[in-house]
Structure 1
Amino acid sequence: MTGNDNSSKFSRRTLLKAGAVIGTAQIASPFVQMARASDVVKIGVDNPATGTYAALGKNEHIGMQMAADQINAKGGILGRKVELLFEDSTSGDAGVAVQKARKLIDRDQVDFLIGNINSALAQAIANVANEKGVFHVVPGGHTDSVTGSNCHWNTFRVCNTTQTEANAVASALVKKAGKKWYYLTPDYAFGHTLQAGLEAAGKKLGVTKVGGDLTPLGTTDFSSYLIKAQAANPDVIIFLQAGDDAVNALKQAVQFGLDKRFHLAGAQQELEVLWGLPPEARVGTWVFEWYWKQAKVTGVDAFVAEARKRSGGHVPTARTYFGHTSIWTCALAAQKAGSLDAVKMAKAMQDFQLPPEVSMMPDGAYYRGGQNQMIGDLYVGHAQSKGSDDPDDLFVVDQVVDGRKVSPTLAETMCHQDWPHA
Structure 2
Amino acid sequence: MGDHAAIGNPQRRTILKAAVATGILQIAAPFVTKAYGEEPIKFGLDNPLTGTYAELGKNEQIGCELAIEQINAKGGILGRPVQLVVEDSTSADTGTAVQKARKLIARDKVDFLLGNVNSAMALAIGQVSNELRTLHIVTGGHTDAVTGTDCHWNVFRVCNTTRMETNSVARLLFEKYGKKWFFITPDYAFGHTLQQGFEASLKTYGGTGVGAALAPLGTSDYSPYLIKAQAANPDVVLFLTAGDDAVNSLKQAVQFGLDKRFHIAGAQQELEVLEGLPPNARIGTWVFEWYWNQPNVPHVAEFVAVIKKRAGRVPTARHWFGYVAVWTVALVANQEKTLDAVKLAKALEGFKLPPEVGLMPDTPFYRAGDHQLMPNLYVGHAVEKGSAPEDLFHVDSVVKGSEAALPVSQTGCTMKWS
Whether TM exceeds 0.5 here: the answer is: yes
Aligned to 2:302: 302
2 CA distance for matches of 1:43 and 1:416? 27
Report deviation, 1:333: 2.2
| Alignment of structure 1 residues 17-36 onto 2, 5 Å | 35-36=35-36
For normalisation by structure 2, the TM-score amounts to: 0.92
| Alignment of structure 1 residues 6-405 onto 2, 5 Å | 35-312=35-312, 314-387=313-386, 389-405=387-403
What is the letter of the counterpart of residue 356 of structure 1?
P
Give every structure 1 segment of 4 or more consecutive aligned residues whose post-TM-superposition deviation is greater than 4 Å.
2-5
What is the letter of the counterpart of residue 244 of structure 1?
D
What is the letter of the counterpart of residue 382 of structure 1?
H
State the SS of the aligned residue for 1:136: strand
State the SS of the aligned residue for 2:390: coil
2 CA distance for matches of 1:118 and 1:29? 40
Q: Any idea what the Cα deviations from partners look like across 1:173-231, whole Å, max 9, x if unmatched?
A: 12332111000000000000010011112221222100111100000000011001001
State the SS of the aligned residue for 2:41: strand
Point out where structure 1 has 5 or more consecutive residues left out of the alignment: 9-27
Could you say what the CA RMSD is over the residues aligned between the two structures, in angstroms?
2.1
State the SS of the aligned residue for 1:283: coil
* More off after superposition, 325-334 vs 271-280: 325-334
Q: Percent identity?
A: 62
Point out where structure 2 has 5 or more consecutive residues left out of the alignment: 1-20
Aligned residues of 1:180 and 1:210 also touching (Cα < 8 A): yes
State the SS of the aligned residue for 2:399: strand
1 CA distance for matches of 2:201 and 2:333? 38
Q: Any idea what the Cα deviations from partners look like across 1:41-62, whole Å, max 9, x if unmatched?
A: 0000000000000010111111
Question: Structure 1 29/330 Cα, relative in aligned 2: closer, same or farther at 3 Å?
Answer: farther
1 CA distance for matches of 2:324 and 2:99? 25
2 CA distance for matches of 1:267 and 1:233? 20
What is the letter of the counterpart of residue 407 of structure 2?
T
Question: Structure 1 3/126 Cα, relative in aligned 2: closer, same or farther at 3 Å?
Answer: same
State the SS of the aligned residue for 2:205: coil
Q: Any idea what the Cα deviations from partners look like across 1:238-265, whole Å, max 9, x if unmatched?
A: 0000000000000000011111111111
Question: Structure 1 4/282 Cα, relative in aligned 2: closer, same or farther at 3 Å?
Answer: farther
State the SS of the aligned residue for 2:185: strand
What is the letter of the counterpart of residue 381 of structure 2?
H
Q: Any idea what the Cα deviations from partners look like across 1:92-150, whole Å, max 9, x if unmatched?
A: 11100000000000110000000100000000010000000000000000001110111
2 CA distance for matches of 1:268 and 1:73? 34
2 CA distance for matches of 1:279 and 1:205? 33
Question: Structure 1 110/223 Cα, relative in aligned 2: closer, same or farther at 3 Å?
Answer: same
What is the letter of the counterpart of residue 202 of structure 2?
G
Report deviation, 1:29: 13
Aligned residues of 1:3 and 1:301 also touching (Cα < 8 A): no
1 CA distance for matches of 2:282 and 2:28? 43
* More off after superposition, 237-246 vs 34-43: 34-43
Report deviation, 1:390: 0.4
Give the number of aligned pairs: 397
Aligned to 1:411: 409
2 CA distance for matches of 1:3 and 1:125? 34
What is the letter of the counterpart of residue 91 of structure 2?
S
Q: Any idea what the Cα deviations from partners look like across 1:26-78, whole Å, max 9, x if unmatched?
A: xx999x86523452000000000000000101111111111111111100011
What is the letter of the counterpart of residue 355 of structure 1?
P
2 CA distance for matches of 1:304 and 1:413? 34
2 CA distance for matches of 1:192 and 1:37? 49
